[in-house]
Amino acid sequence: MARRWPATVGLGEGSFGRPRRRSDINETNENDGPDEAREEIAAMFVQLVHIKVKPGCVEDFLDVFRINYEGTIQEPGNYRFDVLQDPQDETSFVIYEAFESEEAVGEHRKTAHYKQTVAGLENLLEGPRDKDFFRMVMPNGRDRAA
């Protein structure tokens, strides 16, 4: 079962970054074999952030959150950053974030775009963000996002 805490609980140092394809991981070093690539993928850290937006604030939320999205996908420790909206409830969102490591998440939380977004969301959310944390154990080797 995943650990679930309010978003205000820290994980220590970390970061979030640009999307990375499996092919990027396999090209790390000419001496690295398949085991090294699997170890790097297996260390991946995933979090799901659950966000409930106040009614009438969805467009403002998307405008504010886009700052974090655009900054995060440029970070070197980020593999994925997907913003998902519940089709049954337009005010409910889940953010799927895949990072190189837990430390990469901590580095992400130090960025200006993350801090600006957190401050901008303060009056747009119904309550605190909730986060579920996962360790990747069976990554999909196909790059469906490209």
CATH number, domain containing residue 94: 3.30.70.100
CB-CB contact of 124 with 61 (8 Å): yes
Residue with tokens 């939380």: 109
**What confidence category does residue 43 fall into, taking pLDDT thresholds of 50, 70 and 90?**
low
- pLDDT-derived band at 136 (thresholds 50, 70, 90) equals confident
Does 143 fall in a domain? no
33 lies in some domain? no
Q: Do residues 114 and 49 lie in contact, with contact meaning Cβ atoms separated by under 8 Å?
A: no
Instruction: Look at residues 12, 17, 15, 4 and name the one whose alpha carbon lies nearest to residue 78.
Output: 17
Q: How far apart are CA 71 and CA 118, in angstroms?
A: 13
**Mean per-residue pLDDT of the chain:** 76
Average pLDDT, stretch 62-84? 96
List 82's β-bridge partners, or say none.
Answer: 96
| Rounded average pLDDT over 75-88 | 96
Q: How far apart are CA 86 and CA 120, in angstroms?
A: 22
SS (H, E, C) 34-98: HHHHHHHHHCCEEEEEEEEECCCCHHHHHHHHHHHHHHHCCCCCEEEEEEEECCCCCCEEEEEEE
Alpha carbons within 13 angstroms on the beta-carbon side of residue 25 total 24
CB atoms within 10 A of CB 67: 15
Q: 13 or 143: whose pLDDT is higher?
A: 143
Residue 101 lies in a domain: yes
Per-residue pLDDT band at 141 (split at 50, 70, 90): low
Report the number of distinct structural domains present in the chain: 1
pTM: 0.68
Q: What span, in angstroms and rounded, lies between the C-alpha atoms of 99 and 76?
A: 9
Could you tell me if residue 144 is inside a domain?
Answer: no
User: For 89-125, what is each residue's pLDDT tens digit?
Assistant: 999 999 999 999 889 999 999 999 999 999 999 999 9
* For residue 66, pLDDT beyond 80: yes
Quote the pLDDT of residue 138: 76
Q: What residues make up the domain containing 99?
A: 3-20+43-135
**Residue 36 domain flag:** no
